[in-house]
């Protein structure tokens, strides 16, 4: 904990929405004492961790960075929170995010943007910009994020850190405020691949409280990371370059560092092959329909009656007026945009054309992955098309698509439920900012992304 005070960039980042310092110190001291007494402790006991403020924590506020949940205290812990406590890891606090995890820059937080420690005028990515910035700035050695369309990996890419989206169902979603339930996944943020693997092992595993939890999660992540980092660890690994996720639309320096990574992999004995994923072209469109549809349903419960902020308008307050006024005041513009889009996509008469076709595209994306994995063990791409952009640099009221395009390389894996990692790939020559490299693997083969990631690292 002392080390984080001496670290660079602790000022003005706004990475944390809540600091839990006293409790964290208590846990850390108890672990020190236990260690001094020779007690048997879990591997990560005493290692502090920050938690994205989308995951509920007993005794600390949980806001989802929304006015809607300002001051909300959860009466229970999420499964991952409970596992952190059981592992005796001090919880440093709750990190900032785009409201309800919707965004790619953390600018949609109702409590102000988080800044990128590499350059305070730049965004730290999103939605998990708080977790990534905290890890990047040495304010926390580890953090938890959630990834629905890239919210762990893209922030990792633009802050020079590591982020993993595990196989869907490999980490429990119980106690994670739902954005889009068929896509949401909790995962680790860290500075090294091995650290991510160790944290994944702590929080992963079957959970009867989550109906989509895998009954037989695989594990072996840390072992795979160690094997990948060892001499010859990448020998014979078939790495598929996804043609549709490189070249046009990617910043020159991102593309350059990506190609250098391929050279490093070749040098380490990996075999580089090219794979085609023709349906990825439609993935972004399908994601924004499926995600918005699920958002419109999941966020219906914040009605000022059962959950969240309550605003009572003047005059005779009917229940509709209370709901309308509460949702108008509680939600920000981007959340409203998605609720409206999702409600439209699901409405009678449009359902087949929008939601139905999007689900068909989702199947085609899954088939593209299946075909690609018949010739490659892992796939590789840049994580994000650009390095960190300016705070306020994207005019979303004019063109929300510009923000959505940040997710172009991360979204296909969420649609397919497969695991992926982003790790640092050097700095872009034109701006000196971090570039992220992404590996993807088939479902339940999370160990492969740790092996490949640690080998390239």
Q: What amino acid positions are annotated as catalytic residues?
A: 52, 127, 151
- Residue 159 CB, shortest distance to ligand GLN, in Å, is 15
Which structure tokens are listed for 269?
A: 């004995």
107 binds ligand GLN (CB under 6 A): no
- Of 66-74, 99-107, 259-267, 356-364, the segment contacting ligand GLN by CB under 6 A is 99-107
102 binds ligand GLN (CB under 6 A): yes
- Of 40-48, 145-153, 232-240, 312-320, the segment contacting ligand GLN by CB under 6 A is 145-153
291 binds ligand GLN (CB under 6 A): yes
Measured CA to CA, the distance from residue 353 to residue 343 in angstroms comes to 13
- Count residues binding ligand GLN (CB under 6 A): 14
Q: Alpha carbon 170 to chain centroid distance?
A: 14
364-403 footprint of ligand GLN as x/- string (CB under 6 A)? ----------------------------------------
151 binds ligand GLN (CB under 6 A): yes
Q: Between vectors from CA 155 to CA 176 and to CA 381, what angle results, nearest 5°?
A: 110
Q: Are 268 and 234 in contact (CB under 8 A)?
A: yes
Selected from 81, 104, 139, 192, the binder of ligand GLN by CB under 6 A is: 104
Selected from 81, 116, 131, 148, the binder of ligand GLN by CB under 6 A is: 148
Selected from 48, 61, 103, 130, the binder of ligand GLN by CB under 6 A is: 103
- Residue 101 CB, shortest distance to ligand GLN, in Å, is 4
147 binds ligand GLN (CB under 6 A): yes
Task: Count Cα neighbours of 31 within 13 Å in the Cβ-side half-sphere.
Answer: 20
Q: Are 171 and 80 in contact (CB under 8 A)?
A: yes
Could you say which residues in the range 114-133 bind ligand GLN, by CB under 6 A?
127
296 binds ligand GLN (CB under 6 A): no
What are the beta bridge partners of residue 156? Answer: none
Radius of gyration, CA atoms only, the chain? 21
161-190 footprint of ligand GLN as x/- string (CB under 6 A)? ------------------x-----------
41 Cβ contact partners less than 8 Å away, ≥ 6 residues apart: 31, 34, 35, 88
Long-range contacts of 312-316 (CB under 8 A, 24+ apart): none
276 Cβ contact partners less than 8 Å away, ≥ 6 residues apart: 243, 244, 368, 371, 372
Task: Count Cα neighbours of 39 within 13 Å in the Cβ-side half-sphere.
Answer: 12
By C-beta, is 146 or 381 nearer to ligand GLN?
A: 146
- Residue 412 CB, shortest distance to ligand GLN, in Å, is 13
Measured CA to CA, the distance from residue 9 to residue 441 in angstroms comes to 34
Q: Are 387 and 116 in contact (CB under 8 A)?
A: no
279 binds ligand GLN (CB under 6 A): no
Selected from 93, 141, 150, 163, the binder of ligand GLN by CB under 6 A is: 150
Measured CA to CA, the distance from residue 34 to residue 30 in angstroms comes to 6
Q: List contacts with ligand GLN (CB under 6 A).
A: 101-104, 127, 146-151, 179, 291, 407
């Amino acid at each position: 904990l002392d080390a984080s005070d001496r670290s660079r960039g602790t000022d003005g980042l706004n990475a944390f929405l809540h600091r839990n310092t006293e409790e964290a110190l208590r846990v850390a001291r108890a672990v020190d004492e236990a260690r001094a007494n020779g007690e048997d402790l879990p591997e990560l006991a005493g290692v502090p961790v920050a938690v994205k403020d989308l995951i509920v924590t007993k005794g600390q506020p949980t806001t989802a960075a929304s006015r809607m949940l300002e001051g909300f205290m959860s009466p229970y812990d999420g499964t991952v929170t409970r596992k952190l406590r059981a592992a005796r890891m001090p919880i440093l606090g709750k990190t900032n995010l785009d409201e309800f995890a919707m965004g790619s820059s953390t600018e949609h937080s109702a409590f102000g943007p988080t800044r990128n420690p590499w350059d305070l005028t730049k965004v730290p990515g999103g939605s998990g910009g708080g977790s990534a910035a905290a890890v990047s700035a040495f304010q926390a050695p580890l953090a938890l994020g959630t990834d629905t369309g890239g919210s762990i990996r893209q922030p990792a890419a633009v802050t020079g850190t590591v982020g993993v989206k595990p196989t869907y169902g490999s980490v429990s979603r119980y106690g994670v405020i739902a954005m889009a339930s068929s896509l949401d996944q909790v995962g680790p943020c860290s500075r090294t691949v091995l650290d991510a693997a160790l944290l994944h092992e702590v929080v992963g595993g079957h959970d009867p409280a989550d109906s989509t939890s895998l009954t037989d999660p695989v594990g072996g992540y840390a072992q795979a990371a160690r094997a990948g980092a060892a001499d010859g660890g990448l020998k014979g690994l078939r790495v598929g370059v996804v043609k549709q996720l490189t070249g046009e639309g990617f910043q020159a320096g991102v593309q350059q560092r990506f190609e250098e990574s391929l050279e490093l992999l070749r040098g380490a004995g990996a075999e580089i092959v090219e794979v085609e994923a023709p349906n990825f072209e439609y993935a972004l469109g399908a994601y924004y329909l499926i995600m918005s549809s699920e958002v419109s349903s999941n966020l219906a419960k914040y009605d000022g009656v059962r959950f969240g902020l309550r605003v009572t308008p003047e005059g005779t307050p009917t229940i509709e007026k209370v709901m309308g006024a509460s949702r108008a005041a509680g939600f920000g513009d981007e959340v409203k945009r998605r609720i409206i889009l999702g409600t439209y996509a699901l409405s009678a008469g449009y359902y087949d054309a929008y939601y139905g076709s999007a689900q068909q595209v989702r199947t085609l994306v899954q088939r593209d992955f299946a075909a690609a994995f018949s010739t490659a063990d892992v796939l590789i791409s840049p994580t994000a098309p650009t390095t960190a952009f300016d705070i306020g640099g994207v005019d979303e009221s004019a063109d929300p698509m510009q923000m959505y395009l940040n997710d172009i390389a991360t979204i296909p894996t969420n649609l397919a439920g497969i695991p992926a990692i982003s790790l640092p790939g050097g700095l872009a020559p034109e701006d000196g900012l971090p570039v992220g490299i992404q590996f993807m693997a088939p479902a339940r083969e999370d160990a492969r992304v740790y092996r490949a990631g640690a080998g390239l690292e």
